[in-house]
Amino acid sequence: MKVQALVLGAALSVAALPSFAAEGLDLAKASGCLACHSVEKKVVGPAWQDVANKYKGDAGAKAALIAKVKAGGKGNWTAVTGGVPMPPYSPRVADADIEKLVTFVLGLAK
């Protein structure tokens, strides 16, 4: 039951977003990111919209976030997460997919 509710919830949030975002979310779901993240709310990790807003206009952010998703780490969101680390995703998620995920996240800035 719980699994069904989660799947339904993810499907609904995908439906509410434009298609580029739906693709990003599908990839995030397939990569396991949504266990700890959502677009609008803090789960275990920070809300991705907050991540996008924090780095808005920061030219180095994309490379830094790609490195962070690959290697994991903590320290940038301690006030939000209480110091929980982001796990490393390389090599279990392909580099090209990590780049797509980070581009998607940064594209959520308002």
Decide: residue 88, CB within 10 A, 0-12 exposed, 13-18 middle, 19+ buried: middle
Binding of residue 37 to ligand HEC (CB under 6 A): yes
Q: Three-state DSSP class for 42?
A: strand
- In one-letter notation, the amino acid at residue 57 is G
The 8-class DSSP code of residue 11 comes to H
Binding of residue 24 to ligand HEC (CB under 6 A): no
Query: Residues 51 to 110: which contact ligand HEC by CB under 6 A?
Result: 51, 65, 68-69, 73-78, 81, 84-87, 89, 93, 101-102, 105
| Residues near ligand HEC (CB under 6 A) | 31-33, 35-37, 44-46, 51, 65, 68-69, 73-78, 81, 84-87, 89, 93, 101-102, 105
